[in-house]
Structure 1
C-alpha cells in the first residue's frame, strides 16, 4: 500500500473538514505568538549550532566559552551543557519536520466551535513533541559520555573508532528495512487519521505520541552524528534534509530502502578496509 505523504494529508484534511467561518483578525492574530515562539526556537537553535560548530573548529578561542564543555573529565556542568547541545540540535532538526502536523491540528481546532482556545492544543503538541526529543537528548548525552570515557569518541565529538562508525552505519542501514521503521515512518508521513481519531486528546499527549513515532523513525539516524562529528554542521544539515525528504517524497519506502543499502555499504566498507572518515 502506497504511503500517503504528510503534505498530501494536509490537502485531504482541507477537503474533509467543514469550512469554518473566516476567522476574525483577532483570531488569526492569536496564533502569531505561538508561531513566533516556534520560529524563534528553531532559528535560535540553528544559530547556536553554527556558533558551536565554529567554536569546535577554533578551540583556541572557544575554549574559554561558558557554553563549551571540557574536553575530558566531564563534571555535572559539562553534562548539562552537552544535554543542552543535543536538545537544541534536536529541536532545530526535528521541529520543522512537523510543521504540516501543526497546520492540520490548527485546521481541526479552528473548525471546532466548542473549543475556546484554538491554539492551546498546538502549543501542548509542541511541548509534548519536544519532550520526547529531550528524552532522546538525555540518552544521547549519557551515551556520548560513556563513549568519551572509553576513548571511542574524541573530545572533538566525533568517532575515534572505525569499528564504532562502521557498526552504527550498518545498524542504521539494516533498520531502514525493519517493520518498526516502516510503521513509524508511515505515522510520521500520514498523521491525518491519527489526529482525527484522537480529537479528544490533549495537545501534550498528541505531541508525545507523534514524537514517539518520529523518534522510532529517526533516532538511529540521529546517532549517525557520531560518525562525522556531533558538531559537524554540514553533517547536521545533511541529516536534517534526509529526514525531511524521507517524510515527504512520494512512496518513501523506496527512498528508505535505497538509503539503507547505501548506509550498509558505507559501514561495511569502513569495517573491512579499516579506513575512517
Structure 2
C-alpha cells in the first residue's frame, strides 16, 4: 500500500528542487535588480556578466514549467538520481545559456534603437512585436510546444540513449525544444526592457500556462495575436516598448 505514495515522493523530489532553484534565482534578481528601470540593450553589461544574468533569468522563468518534465524523467532513473538529475538540469540550462550569445548580440543591436529618432525606434519595436507574434502562430511553435506539453514520447527516446552521457543528452534535447517553443516570448523582453521584472513575471506565467494549462495552445495563439496587436499599437503608444523607445519603466 505504501509503494504509490513513496513512488510519488521520489519523482516529486526533483520537481521540488527545480522550484527551489527557480525561487533562489527570482530572489537574487529581485534583490539585485528590483529597484532598477527597464533599460535598453545589454544593460551596460559585458558578455560574461550578461550571460550570467541571462542564465539566472532563464532559470527563474523556465524551471517552474520544466519541473513536471524533470519529475517524469526522474522516474526513469533508478540509481544515482540526484547526480543524474543535476546533469539533466545543467544541460537544460546550458542550452539557454548558449542562447544568451545571440541574445547579447541582438540586445546590443536593438539597444541602439533607443538612440534613434522616435519614428525609427518605434518601427524597430513594431518589428520585434510582429516577429514574436507571428512565430507564436506558426506550425514550428506548435510542434515544439507539443513536445513540451506531452513529453512521454520523449521519455522513451531518452531511455534509449546509451552510456553515461544520457542525462546530458536528454537535458540538452529537451532544452532545445523548450528554446524553440519560447524564444519568441524572450524576444519580447527586448521591447519591455531586459530586466523589467514585471514583464519577466508575466512572461514566466505565459510560459507556464502554455506548457501546463489545458488550454496551453490557445494561450500561445492568444499571446501571438496580442503581440501583433502591440506591433500596431506601439505607433500610437510608444511607451508600450520602454526597452527600445526609452521613457523607462520601473522594473519592480
Q: Which of residues 129, 146, 161 is equivalent to 2:92?
A: 129
Q: How does 1:106-125 map to 2 (within 5 A)?
A: 106-110=74-78, 116-125=79-88
Aligned-partner Cα distance in 2 for 1:122–1:180 = 28
State the Cα distance separating 1:152 from its structure 2 match: 1.4
- Residue of structure 2 in register with 1:101 after alignment: 69
What do the CA deviations read for 1:137-168 (whole angstroms, capped 9, x no partner)?
Answer: 222122222333xx2147xxxxx922222111
RMSD over equivalenced CA pairs, Å: 3.2
Per-residue CA distance 1:182-212 (angstroms, 9 max, x = gap): 0000001111111123203211101111000
Q: Which residue number corresponds to residue 152 of structure 1?
A: 113
Q: TM-score, normalised by structure 1?
A: 0.72
Paired residue secondary structure (2:239): coil
Shift of 1:36: 7.6
1:190 counterpart (143, 146, 150): 150
- State the secondary structure of the residue aligned to 1:258: helix
CA distances 1:20-51 after superposition (whole Å, capped 9, x unpaired): 79869xx96xx97x678645532231122212
Residue 128 (structure 2) pairs with residue 168 (structure 1):
yes
Contact 2:133 2:184 in 1 (8 A): no
TM-score by length of 2: 0.79
Looking at structure 2, the residues matched to 118 and 45 of structure 1 have their Cα atoms a distance apart, in angstroms, of 23
Residue aligning to 2:180: 216
> Gaps spanning 5+ residues in structure 1: where?
1-18, 60-68, 111-115, 155-159
Q: Which runs of 5+ in 2 are unaligned?
A: 241-252
Aligned to 2:192: 228
8 Å contact kept, 1:163–1:274: no
- SS of residue paired to 1:224: helix
Distance 1:193 1:258 in 2: 27
Shift of 1:274: 6.3
**1:147 to 1:263, Cα distance in 2 relative to 1, 3 A:** closer
Separation (CA, whole Å) in 1 of partners of 2:200 and 2:238: 22
* Higher percent of residues as helix: 2
Alignment of 1:1-277 (within 5 A): 38-57=18-37, 78-110=46-78, 116-148=79-111, 151-153=112-114, 161-201=121-161, 202-271=166-235, 273=236, 275-277=238-240
Structure number with greater Rg is 1
* Cα gap change, 1:20 to 1:258, in 2 (>3 Å): same
